[in-house]
Amino acid sequence: MENKEYSIFSAPSEHNDKNTEAKKTRKKAITLISGVVLALLIFLSAFLIVKFMPEQKSEEKPNEFEPFKIIETSSADFTKITVENNEGKIELYSEEKTEKDEDGEETTKTEWYIKGYDKKDVSSEISQILSTVSNIEAVREITGKSAEECGFNEPRYKAAIETKDNKGYTILIGNDSPDNFGVYLKFADSEKIYLISDEVLDGLIIDAESIAASASDEA
């Protein structure tokens, strides 16, 4: 029987088994590390995409427009307001009055009257009108319609404002918008058309009889 010499540590077959096992272990470790790195890269990529991706703007609807001022002035500068609608024509005019207090100091105040009626101060009765015509916000500017399409060939409401510095303006109110979101407005000396809230129109409604009666009751 032939004798073979072996290392005191192990037989050759044992060396081969250990090398194979070591290779498998290294391969598993590399695979695991690669998987972890790949997962981190995917997570990092997703995070960066979400963080720096531009926000998508939703489709704009009328009520999502930011209102903007088309008139912003002081009603203290008004001298006369002439309102015309289907009911007729009403003229309001102002006068300044100087009074002295108990200490003899003079103060000036503005009083408003209705032309054709008893001369009684109606300032408190028309305060909403004064506020409305001095500060008007538009929902948006209309560019796809003509003045005629918006009802300005026969405005249903007209308010002419005169001022101390002769820089007055005339407001015209046309039709309601098709979606009933507001009404069309333009200035007599401009081609621009605006959509305004119908709440503004409510503030422009004036009834001379009611105002005069109310002022008489307070007198």
Residue with tokens 């009603």: 75
Instruction: Identify whether residues 28 and 85 lie together within a single domain.
Output: no
Q: Which two tokens stand for residue 151?
A: 């009802």
- Dihedral, CA atoms, 41, 47, 51, 55, nearest 10 degrees? 110
Domain boundary among 56, 80, 95: 56
pTM: 0.66
Domain that holds residue 43: 9-56
Count how many domains the chain has: 2
What's the pLDDT tens digit per position in 51-76?
666 554 433 344 457 899 999 999 99
Residue with tokens 């290294």: 26
Residues of the chain with pLDDT under 70: 1-23, 50-64, 215-219
**Contacts of 206 by beta carbon, 8 Å cutoff, 6+ apart:** 83, 90, 126, 129
CB 139 within 8 A of CB 185: no
How far is the C-alpha of 2 from the C-alpha of 164, rounded, in Å? 131
What's the pLDDT tens digit per position in 193-212?
999 998 887 777 777 778 87
How far is the C-alpha of 166 from the C-alpha of 79, rounded, in Å? 9
Instruction: Identify whether residues 17 and 98 lie together within a single domain.
Output: no
Instruction: Identify whether residues 83 and 162 lie together within a single domain.
Output: yes
